[in-house]
Amino acid sequence: MYIHTSIQHRLALGLAGLALLAAACATQPSEPPRTFHAELEYLKTINDAGPARDPQMIFLLMAQFLNANQAAAGSAYFSAFLERHGREMPGPQRALYLAALALLRGAQAGEVPLLRRSAWVDETVAMLQEAKRLSQGQIYVVRWISGVVGAQLPERFHTRTAAREDLLWCLQHDAEAPDGGWLREAYFQLAALDRDAGDADGARRWLALSGYPGFERAALLLTPFAVNARTGLVFARRQITEIVPGKVFALSGFEFTDYHFVVSRDGSQLIAIDAGTRPAAAQAVYTALKERYAGLPPLTTVLITHAHWDHVGGHHFFRSIAPGVKFYARANYADELRNDLEAPVGRFHYFFGTDFRLENVADFRPDVLVSGPTELKIGGTRIALFPVAGGETSDGMFIYVPEDDVLFVGDFAMPYFGAPFLNEGNPEGMLEAIDLVVRLNPKHLRHGHEPLSRIFNSPALLADLKRHLAWLLHEVLLRVARGETRAQIQRANLVPPFIRDYPDVQLPYLVMREQFINRLYHQHVGYWQP
């Protein structure tokens, strides 16, 4: 059964780094020879089973066709799909497929012969109008695609007035956007419409809001991510969220890592989960939290989920707040720290920025070492610490606050299974740690980075995901035993036969699959040769 409830909010497409070419009448180069795209093959397999129950899978498939420069193949795929399944879909679901097809057709328009092109564009516009009718004009992605495509068509197609209405509707309903990055294109296209209409002031205002310096650009990018040379990558817009009102706070978008804080039961102490990447980032986070909530108690404790660069690098700032701040970490933290210090530091600048200093990681020393399950009481709040092998590092530690029903799990479900450039990571360890998450069954599950908390968002989802990853583990090891290479295993497009019945798992499984296979292969075959 297709469920339309809150459909706009489920379109969390940021993780895919979505790049869409919606220039409906621009001349596009002909499609290159086909190469293998693992994500594209997976998404086709999911959709081949029938209309997707998770709308993300529709638009991620559309995006992968575009990113692979296969707009014509994508247009043919969606056309055939609608021919097979269109009659069985409810209106809103059909609207999503029509909008995706229309955008693919727009990207393909430059390849259509000139004598056929006007009719091609008219058919595409008709698809968008039908998509809006079927969705009663209330689905954000449909209105966005209609506005973006219509704004770029020549005046003779008479779509620009409707496009402006669509784009303004998107701005008025910004809370329904998959993320804030989608607004940039609405601003940009409104700027272009005003420029073409001779309204230079309006064009200047919209362009400033888009963040683009001018009307020339290489691609259309939709993502909540942002990169700054000095401060590095952030995964989400800057935000402070009350996970438990007045008690547990999450701060995202200040730097690469999320920060969490817990107010003790008696209100006398503030407890931090992890210390971030840089002292300056930790200070910005702490200052923002104190400014938003002026009555917060002083920081007394920092609990470290694992000793990676981006979770301990800001410890100097937290120690500077008061001389008695106490840090807790796993007893084997030094092994992980040794890994950190042996890594190729030059690669960090892509993630952490030029302000990152490895010495701020090297001199991290916790005050209390945790070697087994441990229970603390801080300001009347009971906190349980659970060492885990985890999926990313060997020094993982879960931090459970039963009173607030929240579990902090660090990066145990990081899809890289360890830093990409280090010999670490433990797929089997992640599967074992999922059992502990399921046993504790917290209401609030918080990871070390915003996309992880968004995608791997509940014990129930992780329990279902474990079943699929256990199937994958078994399949990979069978193929390793048969002597298949890693490339052969990746090209096999390994998809659990029962995944169709678990729509909530389809995206998390895709996020995990590639690196899960890579780590298993390397660790069971050898890093040097079979």
DSSP 424-452: ---HHHHHHHHHHHHHH--SEEEESSHHH
Per-residue pLDDT band for 23 (boundaries 50, 70, 90) equals very low
In angstroms, how far is the first alpha carbon of the chain from the final one? Answer: 46
Report pLDDT for 28.
Answer: 43
Per-residue pLDDT band for 115 (boundaries 50, 70, 90) equals confident
Higher pLDDT, 282 or 530: 282
Mean pLDDT of 169-185: 92
In the three-class reduction of DSSP (H, G, I as helix; E, B as strand; rest coil), residue 302 is classed as strand
Per-residue pLDDT band for 528 (boundaries 50, 70, 90) equals low
Whether pLDDT at 369 is above 70: yes
Report pLDDT for 11.
Answer: 33
Percent of the residues in the chain that have a pLDDT greater than 90, as a whole number: 76
DSSP string, 2-70: ---TTTGGG--GGGGT-B----TTS--PPPPPP---HHHHHHHHHHHTSS-SSHHHHHHHHHHHHHTT-
Report pLDDT for 423.
Answer: 83
Structure tokens at 477: 């090891």
Report pLDDT for 95.
Answer: 97
Whether pLDDT at 2 is above 80: no
Whether pLDDT at 364 is above 90: yes
pLDDT digits (tens, 9 = 90+) for 449-506: 999 999 999 999 999 999 999 999 999 999 998 989 999 999 999 999 999 999 999 9
Of 401, 492, 509, the C-alpha closest to 36 is 492
**Of all helices (H) and strands (E), which one includes residue 512?**
helix 503-525
Report pLDDT for 5.
Answer: 30
Strands 368-370 and 326-330: parallel
Residue 160, judged by CB atoms within 10 A of its CB (0-12, 13-18, 19+), counts as: buried
Higher pLDDT, 22 or 273: 273
Q: Is the dihedral of CA 502, 507, 510, 511 positive or negative?
A: negative
Mean pLDDT of 283-288: 97
Per-residue pLDDT band for 530 (boundaries 50, 70, 90) equals low
Amino acid (1-letter code) at residue 181: G
pLDDT digits (tens, 9 = 90+) for 186-228: 999 999 999 999 999 999 999 999 988 899 886 777 778 888 8
pTM: 0.89
Whether pLDDT at 15 is above 80: no
